[in-house]
Amino acid sequence: MESQAHPSDRAGLEYASWRTASADALDRRVAWLEEHGHGGTWVPQDLGGGREYEFTDPDGHVFRLYFDTEAYVAPEGKRPVIPVNFQAYAGRGANVRHVDHLNLLARDVRANRRFWEEGFGLRTYEIIELPDGAEAGAWMSATIQGHELIYTQERTSGSARLHHFAYLVDTREEVLRAAEIFADARIHIEAGPSRHTAIQGFYLYTREPGGNRIEVANGGYLVFAPDREPYVWTAEEWATKPGWGAPIPPEFHIYGTPDVAE
Amino acid sequence: MESQAHPSDRAGLEYASWRTASADALDRRVAWLEEHGHGGTWVPQDLGGGREYEFTDPDGHVFRLYFDTEAYVAPEGKRPVIPVNFQAYAGRGANVRHVDHLNLLARDVRANRRFWEEGFGLRTYEIIELPDGAEAGAWMSATIQGHELIYTQERTSGSARLHHFAYLVDTREEVLRAAEIFADARIHIEAGPSRHTAIQGFYLYTREPGGNRIEVANGGYLVFAPDREPYVWTAEEWATKPGWGAPIPPEFHIYGTPDVAE
Amino acid sequence: MESQAHPSDRAGLEYASWRTASADALDRRVAWLEEHGHGGTWVPQDLGGGREYEFTDPDGHVFRLYFDTEAYVAPEGKRPVIPVNFQAYAGRGANVRHVDHLNLLARDVRANRRFWEEGFGLRTYEIIELPDGAEAGAWMSATIQGHELIYTQERTSGSARLHHFAYLVDTREEVLRAAEIFADARIHIEAGPSRHTAIQGFYLYTREPGGNRIEVANGGYLVFAPDREPYVWTAEEWATKPGWGAPIPPEFHIYGTPDVAE
Amino acid sequence: MESQAHPSDRAGLEYASWRTASADALDRRVAWLEEHGHGGTWVPQDLGGGREYEFTDPDGHVFRLYFDTEAYVAPEGKRPVIPVNFQAYAGRGANVRHVDHLNLLARDVRANRRFWEEGFGLRTYEIIELPDGAEAGAWMSATIQGHELIYTQERTSGSARLHHFAYLVDTREEVLRAAEIFADARIHIEAGPSRHTAIQGFYLYTREPGGNRIEVANGGYLVFAPDREPYVWTAEEWATKPGWGAPIPPEFHIYGTPDVAE
């Protein structure tokens, strides 16, 4: 999943982009979207001169698909000593590496999950199912990583909202280090450092000055079995909080961006 | 501080022992205790044939002083490869190394703090002072370690109660590892893993089956300045929770052993 | 890659097994092997009643392919609190999680690399190329993980030899912890702990009592770009040892199992 | 031990300063020095208007003693959120905290060790003794920390030379992180990261541009027993390299500053 920042007058996700495995794969995905009533439009690419297709998921979040891209070349002074690396180790601040996953809020988690499974072959590794059959959360991935795209339940009247996006750091120790940096920089820590029950990544949450929630994340399991079925949590089982049991503040489950004043 | 476990029919601290710097130092401490109205009694040593002096702090906790001791010799099969170590690396369970500090509850924190400062030369590194002038907490040490003996406020009708004792692990990562072990062993985590504001150690709290609260701890600063004064927190400043801000459950400040049903 | 241990009268790899993505994928792979002169034989499965196909790579290492399998169910007492986990956190010894990768020695690294690329779609992430055009090493994977199967140059008269297989631990700290355990257990450390230049995993090498070299490993990069080409090191560039530069003993590049007395 | 940098036209230690426990202690130490033939001179203090006494150890290294000092107050923008800290967490580069210990080379290790033991009450925790009775190394401390001042054998014709000084980082993970930073900054790593056998600290060595060897260090044991005798390694026992066994390059035992061309 590629991420780009665009200036905006309000917080939230303008769009998220996925890179396809090939130019053909891009055409096949667009064909599927158009056949299944999710057709969008081709747009000029922000970076590079290629083509990009914009569409929305069932909850209204905007996504783009592209294949063409231009590899980053580190400028003089940032060249890594090991040439396969993207750039020299920065070692500054929280020292995040790349966007790890995206958590969106959806009024109908199941509909959004099926959209990605059927249209894009994403695999779902964990689901929380409520007593009424609705889903409260779904953790999906295009790879063996436990989560790349997460939907959790929208509990307000809003739609197309962002819960958070996560930046990866190399180790759990670096999540702890980020907490030290946040504390001394007077950046409010919303939750963590602790370990999630779903996918089991190590987390730290804050909000950037614009209001979007950001996670500094490390870990989460990898899935090697080709036939691994999603694990479906009942609400009852989920409520027992198996794991470390660190308390999460109530607004964690409500707040998203754009913010919905209610 | 030496720790020994004795069977008992209820939770709490039977006694804590301090080893003096020399046999003479033991006599000098006993003289001070007797001169200042804290006289106790000589008792036979539990381990070894030496002498041990039993007395109480102002809140009624029982302590012992001794100098004679017998060095532990690791049995065959537990001999460390580096002979200065006490025994081979065990690498089992939470893999705690030794008792790190003791946190007692006191009705009058200041009185207990002064007792140790005046009688034993302990240094106090941090104090929380309430608006009425009473102290809510005091972190003391016989060494450069930020805490070896802590008093925090007794909020029940009890006395001579234990808040917790802490076992040291080598790294913060091992505190996280202990949390994984506790979770899978269905051992309730009362608080943490997180970092304390006072002394800044990394913590994880649980209770042993008998009810005593136990901390798995790492870190906390060392104090090198010979003239470092205690840092005195006002209640107001303390309430801002500078640091990581992880929530602590309310019973953390109430529960101690023996438990006081109120 | 699945690993099973079989008793043998000499060290080395009896065979390594790959699980295919589906039963059909198994048939397709077997068809490719037979079409390309690498045909083997169907054998009864060691575990479970399914079918398994045995064949050799160009250097003579024995492999098996299978799809049928039986999921492990943790016995009472080892059940994990989070049900997606395979079993409760053991926290014993080096606490390895699963086999991470396999490093084989080959007289012709390129031939073996192409075999897996063409027949199985493995991706190669790094290659060392010698001045004469031969390859000294190739790091391959069936996933986004930087290495699952590695070939390095056979420098003796042997063939079908094992260089090492690697067990994964969760963190670099656990690699350090394994070094402590090995030291106190008088288990010789052949190399490490340090970080590799290729794929950049954190390593520790020893040999099990039977003589096979074992790595305790953590890390190594993940590859997200679908069009990432292998990075090809020249021998000259490789010789500069970009990275941490920890010395590797000469026998590391010679010794493999079965051992070849020369 | 306080450290200050002074410009110089060649590498080496200009002087090292110790702060005494009190003004009286300063006078007592000076009296001891003068009584025992090590008398030096009072010099104006570099920082602050106090007095400072300069003298040499038996090998000729220059030391200073002082008590008066001025506490550092972090400027606006570097104020720590927890007021007992010296300044906000920097999180930049190798992120070293403070000077941890000093390793000097001495032609007669024993003479230097006894000088500090007798004159200053330093405790020695480990010694390496050669077959001819000379000492090859001595690890000393003014506190419970395993090492604050180390003497190792001078193997050249030089005298008053520095082997290295060590900066502390908070965790072993930060030593590994420093190695990543050094590698990408093309700073040569002389040894490590690995763990020392003596005192068991985790180390990483490089040289600063002026030529002085610098260690990035974490760990090392603390000594709580008041009657702990130095552990005396025989040369034979030491040669077995109990511990992790990482190779140290030969020049590590020769090179010091000022460099001695031989």
| Residues D138 and D151: beta-carbon distance below 8 Å | yes
Question: Rounded to an integer, what distance in angstroms lies between the CA atom of residue A190 and that of residue A175?
Answer: 14
**A231·C172 Cβ contact <8 A:** no
Tell me what pLDDT residue A96 has: 96
Does residue B48 register a pLDDT over 90? no
Please return the burial class of C148, using the count of CB atoms within 10 Å of its CB with bins 0-12, 13-18 and 19+.
Answer: buried
Other CB atoms within 10 A of residue B93 CB: 13
Neighbour-count burial of A218, counting CB atoms closer than 10 A to its CB (0-12 exposed, 13-18 middle, 19+ buried): buried
- For residue D8, what pLDDT band results from cuts at 50, 70 and 90? confident
Q: Is the pLDDT of residue B107 over 90?
A: yes
* Residue type present at position C243: G
Which of A106-110, B55-59, B79-83, D70-74 comes out lowest in average pLDDT? D70-74
Residue with tokens 């890390």: C219
Place of tokens 């075999």: C115
Residues D198-212 as b/e (b if ≥16 CB within 10 A, e otherwise) read bbbbbbbbbbeeeeb
Burial of A238 (0-12, 13-18, 19+ CB in 10 A): middle
- Residue C101's nearest CA partner among C223, C235, C213 is C213
Distances B120 to A132, B124, C180 between C-alpha atoms, Å: 65, 12, 37
Is the pLDDT confidence value at D3 over 60? Answer: no
- Mapping DSSP to helix (H, G, I), strand (E, B) and coil, where does residue C34 land? helix
**Are residues D137 and D227 located together in one domain of the fold?**
yes
Whole-number Å distance between alpha carbons of B258 and B9 = 10
Return the beta strands (E) in chain A as ranges: 16-19, 41-44, 51-56, 62-66, 99-106, 123-129, 135-141, 149-153, 162-168, 191-195, 201-207, 213-219, 231-234
Q: Strand order of the sheet with strand B231-234? A: B191-195, B201-207, B213-219, B162-168, B99-106, B149-153, B135-141, B123-129, B231-234
Q: Assess: ipTM above 0.90.
A: yes
Q: How far is CA C131 from CA B28, B145, C128, C206, C234, in A?
A: 78, 58, 10, 31, 8
User: Is D246 part of the contact surface with chain C (CB cutoff 8 Å)?
Assistant: yes
- Report yes or no on A191 lying in a domain: yes
CA distance C210 to chain B (A): 22
Best of B194, B204, B248 to mutate (most A CBs within 10 Å, chain A): B194
Same domain, C117 and C228: yes
Strand partners, C151: C104, C138
Tell me how far the alpha carbon of residue C40 is from its chain's centroid: 22
pLDDT in tens, D80-104: 999 999 999 998 999 999 999 999 9
Task: Tell me whether residues B89 and C180 touch, CB distance under 8 A.
Answer: yes
Do residue D56 and residue D131 come from a single domain?
A: no
Does D55 map to a domain? yes
Answer yes or no: do B138 and B179 share one domain.
yes
Q: Kindly indicate the confidence band of residue B5, based on its pLDDT and cuts at 50, 70 and 90.
A: low
Check CB contact of D237 with chain A, cutoff 8 Å: no
CA R_g for chain C: 19
Kindly state whether residues A187 and A230 are assigned to the same domain.
yes
Using only C-alpha atoms, chain A has a radius of gyration, in whole angstroms, of: 19
Distance CA A137, CA D7 (A): 62
Residue B92 belongs to some domain of the structure:
no
Which chain A residues are Cβ-neighbours of B183 within 8 angstroms?
A: 242-245
Interface list for D 123-182 with A (CB within 8 A): 171, 173-174, 177, 180-181
Interface mutation vs chain D, best among A184, A188, A216, A218, most D CBs within 10 Å:
A184
Return the half-sphere exposure (C-beta side, CA atoms, 13 A cut-off) of residue B128.
17
Across the interface, do A179 and B242 touch by the CB < 8 Å criterion? no
Determine the 3-state secondary structure of D43 from DSSP. strand
Contact B88, B46 (CB under 8 A): no
Residues D180 and D241 in one domain: yes
| Helices C172-184 and B172-184, packing angle to 10 deg | 90
pLDDT at D68: 94
Neighbours of A229 (CB within 10 A): 10
Please tell me whether residues B154 and B39 are part of one structural domain.
no
Question: Which among D176, D244, D249 is the nearest to C172, CB-wise?
Answer: D176
Q: Which of D25, D51, D66 is the last residue of a domain?
A: D66
Report the C-alpha gap between B30 and B37 in whole angstroms.
11
Question: How far does C189 lie from chain D, in Å, by closest CA?
Answer: 7
**pLDDT value at D1 more than 80:** no
- pLDDT range class, residue B148, cuts 50, 70, 90: very high
Q: Is residue B219 included in any domain, yes or no? A: yes
Give the pair of three-digit tokens for residue D20.
Answer: 């005494």
**CATH number, residue D167:** 3.10.180.10
Task: Classify residue C9: in a domain, yes or no.
Answer: no
Could you tell me which of C209, C214, C106 has the C-alpha nearest to residue C161?
C106
- Which stretches of chain C score pLDDT less than 70? 1-7, 261-262
DSSP B200: T
Report helix, strand and coil shares of chain A as percent, to nearest 5. 20, 30, 50
Nearest to C82 among A145, A197, A225 (CB): A197
pLDDT by position in tens, chain A (length 262): 555 556 678 899 999 999 999 999 999 999 999 999 999 999 998 777 789 999 999 999 999 999 999 889 999 999 999 999 999 999 899 999 999 999 999 999 999 999 999 999 999 999 999 999 999 999 999 999 999 999 999 999 999 999 999 999 999 999 999 999 999 999 999 999 999 999 999 999 999 999 999 999 999 999 999 999 999 999 999 999 899 999 999 999 999 999 986 5
Find tokens 């996560």 and name the residue.
A166
Parallel, antiparallel, or unpaired for β D149-153 and D99-106? parallel
Mutation target to probe the B interface, by most B beta carbons within 10 A, among D1, D66, D84, D221 is D84
Q: What single letter denotes the amino acid at residue C230?
A: P
Give the pLDDT score at D204: 98
Q: Yes or no: say if A170 and A219 are a contact pair by the CB < 8 Å rule.
A: no
User: Is B36 in the same domain as B118?
Assistant: no
- Residues A161 and A115 placed together within one structural domain of the fold: yes
D175-191 residue pLDDT tens: 999 999 999 999 999 99
pLDDT of res. A8: 74
CA angle B82, B83, B85 (to 5 degrees): 80
Domain that holds residue A117: 99-253
Q: How far apart are CA B236 and CA C135, in angstroms?
A: 68
* CB contact B188 to A (< 8 Å): yes
The answer on B235 and B147 residing in a single domain is yes
Per the domain annotation, does C75 fall within a domain? Answer: no
CA distance A84 to A243: 37
**Is D121 found in the same domain as D26?**
no
B82 belongs to a structural domain: no
> Which among C84, C172, C227 has CB closest to A171?
C172
pLDDT at D262 over 80: no
Q: How many helices (H) and strands (E) does chain C have?
A: 4, 13
Q: Same domain, yes or no, for D55 and D111?
A: no
Number of independent structural domains in chain D: 2
User: What pLDDT shows up at residue D4?
Assistant: 57
Retrieve residue A68's tokens.
């063409």
The sheet carrying A51-56 orders its strands as A16-19, A62-66, A51-56, A41-44
Burial class (CB in 10 A: 0-12, 13-18, 19+), A201: buried
Residue C250: exposure state from Cβ atoms within 10 A (0-12, 13-18, ≥19): exposed
Residue B126 maps to a domain:
yes
Q: For residue A56, what are the β-bridge partners?
A: A62
Chain D neighbours, 3+ Cβ pairs < 8 A? A, B, C
Overall average pLDDT of the B205-234 stretch: 97
pLDDT of residue A256: 97
Ramachandran angles phi, psi of D215, nearest 5°: -110, 140
